[in-house]
Structure 1
Amino acid sequence: MNMPWNRLDADLFERAQALLDEEWLARDADLAPLLPVVLERGVGQDWHKAGTFRHHLAGVARSLALWRQPRDIRLLGLLHSVYGNAFVDLVKFDAGSERGRMQALIGEAAEHLVYLFCTMSRTQFVQKLLAGELAADGSMTLHRNGPEPRQTITLTPYEVAAFAIVSMADSMEQWFSWQEDIYSRFPHVDGTRQQSVHWAASLWPGPMRPSSRMLGQIAGLGLALQHPGLREQLPLPPVFGHCSQALDAGAEAAAVALYWSVVQLDQPLVDADAAIATLEQAVRLNPWVGEPQMVLAQLYLGAGRDAEAALAAESALQCFSAWGNAWDKRVQWDAWIAWTRILLQSAREGSWPQRLDKLNNIALKQ
């Protein structure tokens, strides 16, 4: 059966390469002036899901930069939680007294997006967007956070599109098995589960398995951008066929289980045939993330199947370049890309080491 390999977009890969080192933010003329202001609030010391709050804010902004979003949207990505929100109790700027300072720093239009994103009901926003509850022009009416009676607000089509795209990047950057367990079935969270009963699910960071259901939700947010009132508002992210494809929930869950069975060495170890077949099926079920394809490329190389390894590695690079964040969060996005480039180089040269110790010596040839 043919594999759903992705072709590497040279322009997208070049944009991704420019964002690989941590200094990319300091080189961004729009975002760099905000760094000292944000860092002085201690974001590099705050815990946040799979890293620190700084890692999270920078990771969201990185995806938005990769997706060629305009200045105000990239600023929103970097600052999307600084006034706090219903999900995290991390208030870095007081919305009651510091909005003027933020407006002076980034402009009133960008600050308005940040304030609105932090204070609206993001749970209700995701619920409505996934359900297609939009007006004919793409606008949306929902509530602000806070006690009842909550204020009703109406988002413009531009704001809906902006918040959908930032939500896609936000979810991809942070979601993995620990968050999936404690925040199960978001945006319809079951609030009855007690930590004392489900203590095993609460132990951070847990096994760090990729999420079994969030990627399909991100695809749903992307599909919502095909609404006639939203489609032309902002550049469509280059994921899920530029937001044109869904990911079936059953296929996503099965693909994660198959991938995890291989990386946890639950497949026969003497020969790689079973592991290769398992990963091939995972990729067929979910061709939108790079990690299963990257591991498959390495198994192909070990089996002497260089041509197939090159196709898998190139396809994995395309996925990594499209997301700007890792799906499997055991290592960071730039590390996944670095190893995948080694695999692609080795596949093209037919030079994969035959001895275990030589794996420690391989390097990318510039």
Structure 2
Amino acid sequence: MLLRELTIADVSGGSYYLPAQLQVGWASFVILIILPCVLSFNQSQFIMAYENGKKANDENREMSSNYSARLERARLFIRDQLEEIDPKLPLFLRTLKDVGATECWHKHGTFYEHLFHVYRNLKLWDAPDSVARCGLFHSAYSNSYVNLAIFAPDTGRGVVRDLIGSEAEELTHWFCIVPRQQLIFDMILFKYSDEDLLQHLKLLKKGNGKPPVPPEGLVVKNIRTGEDLLVPRNLIAIFFLLTMVDFADQYYGWQDDLFANQDGKFDYSGDQWTSLWPGDGRPGLWVPLISRLGVMLNILLHEEAAYKEQEEREGRVEALKNRLFADIPITAPPILDNCSVIVSAADQIEALELYWQAFPMNAEGKPKSAEILKPLLRKASQKCPFLAEPHLLLTQVLLGEGEYEEAEKEANEGLKLLLEWGTHWDKRMSWEGWISWARVMLLNAKNRTWPRSAWGVTSLGLV
């Protein structure tokens, strides 16, 4: 079938599928692969991931509404409908390419890819435009982690300000002069155990508890000038959100090798600088860190809400307005039960070990049997239920066994998690690729079918 013959009528009926791994250009990728998968996303059974064939109650309808909204935002990125996300987004991306961001190495890809993925994640997490634009340019002047300035701090600020707006540029500037490791980890996060954080969040929700960060903020040194910087609490909360997105996109198993993070605590205590890039491709042990950052972000947001309410009640509205970035609203991301759960390092390690065991062939060079894989992957999902990929591996195994009802449930859960995270844990394939594969499996589960040959599996996406 030629490309010119592929019509909306063809793809909206769900008749044709293309493999996510097909190596084509980005524009062709959107047209040939993602578009057939996402156009049929409108089916109510996909959006109503929690229904399982039953009439939804009010809670399920609310969940479905949130799920549908995330799906609509994700679809804009998957279809490359950039102007609908932000009318200036194509210009932003063109500018980043023009200054060489596509030529700069960055962790598991290029700097451009990382910046765009951070932006996408922030938009999927409902961040306001100024924060999302800051995410797109977050290391533009280099920062305390990355010596990678694509705009000179002394001459480039006006250029960036004219491009993304004053508020977004000011956020970017602050992001690049604050020692984030010291502020976020040494001065705040590492002072609390998991139990302390969860207990503090519980007390705050009840209107009790002592704030770990005062409203006026904390003082750090400007990493370039050495001058004192007073970073207000609301800006610290924005930095927590940006750090969560930043780390979730770029971290995988290679960083565990670099920092000797075998215990999953990510305290940067190791220094194995000779670890070969890109490592063995396994997922990283970064979810406990993200979960701790998320709970602290939740705490900061509760404290900020209570503080603003008190200031307004006591007639000190002007004091609120004078605080830096006081009018920028952010919310806790949908991941990890709206950032109210901490994943233990032990659970993450065990989940990774179980997940990774599923891939190597057995002693005879054949895939492991379903009898081995099903309990392995179910336990991986139990140990860390907030990751999409174990659910999706289990989906394929269940489809092969003809257990279509459970396969449909697992595929729905995997898709829901991919949309909530806006990124992926197993970075050997792209986020879009995982969504495409999950979509193929979901439709096969609903159709109660699965190929029984190697050619059949590899042809799932061919037309």
TM-score, normalization: structure 2?
0.71
Structure 1 CA distance for aligned equivalents of residues 387 and 462 of structure 2: 23
- Tell me the amino acid that sits aligned with residue 279 of structure 2: G
Q: Report the counterpart of residue 16 of structure 2 in structure 1.
A: none
Q: Report the counterpart of residue 90 of structure 2 in structure 1.
A: 32
1:310 aligns with 2:408: yes
Structure 2 CA distance for aligned equivalents of residues 326 and 46 of structure 1: 22
1:203 aligns with 2:276: yes
Q: Report the counterpart of residue 126 of structure 1 in structure 2.
A: 184
Post-superposition CA distance 1:4-60 (Å, at most 9, x none): xx8472322232222224453785224333222221111111111111111100000
Q: Report the counterpart of residue 43 of structure 1 in structure 2.
A: 101
SS of aligned partner of 1:153: strand
* Aligned partner of 1:144 among 222, 228, 238: 222
- Structure number with greater Rg is 2
1:288 aligns with 2:389: no
Residues 16 and 321, structure 1, Cα contact 8 Å, conserved in 2: yes
Structure 2 CA distance for aligned equivalents of residues 176 and 334 of structure 1: 17
* Aligned partner of 2:139 among 78, 81, 92: 81
Q: Report the counterpart of residue 360 of structure 2 in structure 1.
A: 264
- Tell me the amino acid that sits aligned with residue 237 of structure 2: A
In 2 relative to 1, CA 109–20 (structure 1 residues): closer, same or farther, beyond 3 Å? same
Post-superposition CA distance 1:192-238 (Å, at most 9, x none): x464xxx4xx21111111112x1111111110122222468412211
Structure 2 CA distance for aligned equivalents of residues 101 and 111 of structure 1: 10
* Aligned partner of 2:294 among 222, 236, 249: 222
- Tell me the amino acid that sits aligned with residue 188 of structure 1: D
1:236 aligns with 2:315: no
Residues 137 and 157, structure 1, Cα contact 8 Å, conserved in 2: yes
Kindly state the Cα deviation for residue 275 of structure 1 after the two structures are TM-superposed.
1.1
Post-superposition CA distance 1:58-83 (Å, at most 9, x none): 00000011111101100111000110
In 2 relative to 1, CA 23–51 (structure 1 residues): closer, same or farther, beyond 3 Å? farther
Comparing 88-97 with 338-347, which one deviates more in the overlay? Answer: 88-97
The runs of 5 or more residues in structure 2 that have no matched partner are: 1-48, 51-63, 193-210, 307-328
Kindly state the Cα deviation for residue 146 of structure 1 after the two structures are TM-superposed.
4.7
Q: Report the counterpart of residue 434 of structure 2 in structure 1.
A: 336
Residues 160 and 169, structure 2, Cα contact 8 Å, conserved in 1: yes
RMSD of aligned alpha carbons: 2.4
Q: Report the counterpart of residue 257 of structure 2 in structure 1.
A: 181
Residues 225 and 231, structure 1, Cα contact 8 Å, conserved in 2: no
The runs of 5 or more residues in structure 1 that have no matched partner are: 1-5
* Aligned partner of 1:59 among 117, 128, 131: 117
Considering fraction of residues, name the structure with more helix: 2
1:355 aligns with 2:453: yes
Residues 126 and 187, structure 1, Cα contact 8 Å, conserved in 2: no
Post-superposition CA distance 1:275-306 (Å, at most 9, x none): 11011001011111111110010001111110
In 2 relative to 1, CA 243–27 (structure 1 residues): closer, same or farther, beyond 3 Å? closer
- Tell me the amino acid that sits aligned with residue 126 of structure 1: I
1:190 aligns with 2:264: no
How many residues align? The count is: 351
SS of aligned partner of 1:44: helix
